[in-house]
């Protein structure tokens, strides 16, 4: 069964460093998303991406964050200068037709720890 894959599963980084979280969405999906979940809290929307551009972003997704689909298969989330509060589980998701009426498929997540 097709699945969304994320790498790495766990990343530890120094505060102020740049990190890139990688995702391979399901191949025929057109909509891509990043969510995050701070430990013990709810899953929060970060950004949605369609047709090679951001379609919506949340207040969390400030200038320190960027997304890219560099080669037609990978979908990356970059955090330019990490802060302690960026420590969270980051989930990538993809959907064939957007989230209206179709399920979203989530990856297993990348646990980011900023020290």
Partner 1 sequence: SQQGEEDPQALSIQEGENATMNCSYKTSINNLQWYRQNSGRGLVHLILIRSNEREKHSGRLRVTLDTSKKSSSLLITASRAADTASYFCATDAIQGAQKLVFGQGTRLTINP
Residues at the contact surface with partner 1, assessed by CB under 8 A: 31, 33, 35, 41-45, 48, 55-56, 89, 91, 93, 95, 98-109, 111
Rounded to an integer, what distance in angstroms lies between the CA atom of residue 91 and that of residue 35? 5
Tokens 């689909």, located at residue: 69
User: Shortest distance, CB of residue 43 to partner 1, whole angstroms?
Assistant: 4
User: Shortest distance, CB of residue 81 to partner 1, whole angstroms?
Assistant: 26
The answer to whether the CB of 19 falls within 8 A of the CB of 112 is yes
CB nearer to partner 1: pick between 17 and 41: 41
CB nearer to partner 1: pick between 20 and 99: 99
CB nearer to partner 1: pick between 3 and 18: 3
CA dihedral 18, 70, 54, 11 (to 10 degrees): -30
The answer to whether the CB of 108 falls within 8 A of the CB of 6 is yes
User: Shortest distance, CB of residue 24 to partner 1, whole angstroms?
Assistant: 14
Pairing of the two strands 43-50 and 65-68: unpaired
User: Shortest distance, CB of residue 77 to partner 1, whole angstroms?
Assistant: 15
CB nearer to partner 1: pick between 62 and 100: 100
């Amino acid at each position: 069964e097709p699945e969304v894959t994320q790498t790495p599963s766990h990343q530890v980084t120094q505060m102020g460093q740049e990190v890139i979280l990688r995702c391979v969405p399901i191949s025929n999906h057109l909509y891509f998303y990043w969510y995050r979940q701070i430990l013990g809290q709810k899953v929060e929307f970060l950004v949605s991406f369609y047709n090679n551009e951001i379609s919506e972003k949340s207040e969390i997704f400030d200038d320190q964050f960027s997304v890219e689909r560099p080669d037609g298969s990978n979908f990356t989330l970059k955090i330019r200068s990490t802060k302690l509060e960026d420590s969270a589980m980051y989930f990538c998701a993809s959907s064939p037709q957007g989230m209206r009426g179709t399920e979203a498929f989530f990856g297993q997540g990348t646990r980011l720890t900023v020290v």
